[in-house]
Amino acid sequence: MSPFRARVEKGRLILDEATTLPEGTVIDLVADDEGDNLTDEERRALHAALSASWTSAEAGRLRPASEILDELRHRR
């Protein structure tokens, strides 16, 4: 999934981008500070991982966040 681009107009965020998201989907927008310091290779890997995750979620392959957090806590 590509990032969305919005602009501020009269103090409001204006977003006019085509999407395949279902009607009523709520998304959180954050200002892009472009300060992640990722290399091009790291950025490609990140985007590939995010795309794969999105595809997995759309296919219904989901796990509760609490389950994942429990796993991470037990790895320590």
**Domain ranges (residues) in the chain:** 6-74
How far, in Å, CA of 38 to CA of 41, rounded?
A: 8
Model confidence pLDDT, tens digit, residues 39-60: 999 999 999 999 999 999 999 9
The 8 Å CB, 24+ separation contacts for 55-61 are none
Model confidence pLDDT, tens digit, residues 12-33: 999 888 888 899 998 888 877 7
pLDDT at 2 over 80: no
Strand ranges for 1-76 from DSSP E? 6-9, 12-15
Beta bridge partners of 9: 12
Q: Please check whether residue 29 is in contact with residue 4, taking contact to mean a CB–CB distance below 8 angstroms.
A: yes
The amino acid occupying position 42 is E
Per-residue pLDDT band at 1 (split at 50, 70, 90) = low
